Structure 1
């Protein structure tokens, strides 16, 4: 696997490698997303021509793809597909029992419910993964890829024609295959237009990234995400408690029409939750309806948690996603929707200021 050669690849001439293997990179991309068998032939030909070990060249192509895709909106889809493709290869080398510390390195970052230690047999410092070997293999790959992608994303790509051409080709190939490319576009009250992903708080973005890359966030994390996303779309000013400290009991139909709600549920399932490892459409539809208070269950919206409950979550799997940035640290940001409202208001003020300056230049304020 790639990790075996990682240190060696860090020393290569990146641009030269892209130029040498640009065709093979696109061939591998097609192999990952549609199992195009031509890649195996292409890999063999390049390997023979350059006199390089086939497995090593394959790993190098993966390395180059990770760097390129980490700078696109398609990285999560790549992680999901790659993990599914490679999991059996990893499984072949996995023993039935692994060190608890090795297990924790993956389990603590995966957030997959099946990788909770309390559900598994632990004896003499070893965890029995016999029954979940496939899940563990896939999550191991996911975690490692996301770590590599996060590191690659921190480094700006060189301004070079080969990179521009490859990114254009990648975009042209994947733009019709990845249905959730525009997932970040939702509308909020008093704001016309799409809300950029970075306007949402780090916790919500973290859950979204896990979902889109095929992960399995905890029940509480999914619930908080669903309700946040619903409120962000239809009423970002809604909070769990009113000004008197009373719980706000409200249903989905109190803030959106049935047509809007049905469309929201369909889009959420199609664009996101189909990527979750344990996806079941019927159960997911019921789950979303129950949490937003629509037609089933208690009929009340289950509010997204306040920030303090993310930080001290009592094992709910929320604290993993609570990674405050500078906006989170502002004293008036006490709920994830406060973060969104802050960014919306900041944008509206900027637009208003621009409009005033333009009118002033045109003499309309004289």
Structure 2
């Protein structure tokens, strides 16, 4: 069961510690993802820690709980605020609800009351959100983009994932990341969610015909980004047919602005289906000679399939001039040019992979070079 993620906003450190200790007794149900000393800090933390519930004190410096709650309700409708106060008068309750709080709890609170309030509020808010269908959702027709490589180990999945996050957060697009590297998938590992349901569970149970049927098999990374993971075992790939993939895409395209597909490295039936129907193919390579050779061969195959330069874009990952191959050398070989060059930031990427925490959209004050390069690539996607 997915834990309820909680952000605590209170300027009294003792209160924060009491709440943390109380919720730690229900570690299987709750996860405290952060704490803030005022309403502005809480607002700043939400994009990074992505809470389900904010426990918000009503009286705080800088930005008080009522003002912060009003902004959260407008900017992050998927987050429910529970107001906390030592005041239990009806006027305080009325103010809290007017500003968007979903529930109100009086300090000092007991263990059972706090736990039950959080559970009930979270469940009620989730049900309400499911019934809200944005008007624009009916008008979407997902643009299909795919990341492909003819050689493993070039960082294709890392670019797929972090591009999807960038588009969903900074460009405010409704995005689906579909992992169709069916034999050697990485996406679930890269977000530390390898025990989630996969496309194999979806296909096995035949729930392919409506968005409501497919939705339980999707992992919600944030309110604008869903993911459908590949199976965890290579042998499971043979059970995912082209027909199943076609039905899934047909069902989900109207629900998303962009569908990003991370493909396998072979030209099998499933990959060819995706490549045929993609509006744009990002062919990922590195500047190693072996990778460039395989990329040249792969691009020749794509040319024979009738894909033109408007559809196929070369992306050089881990760009570094230290190893004897320059940008000019690459451009001399690939006459259609290089669409994007992603700098080599090994430490950032390795830490991200090992922790299962994508580096895009972390809410830092300054973006790294690799984040800026991916953002520039994403700007081109939307042109």
TM-score interval for Structure 1 and Structure 2 normalised by the shorter chain: under 0.3
Q: TM-score, normalised by structure 1?
A: 0.25
Greater strand share, structure number: 2
Q: TM-score, normalised by structure 2?
A: 0.24
Greater helix share, structure number: 1
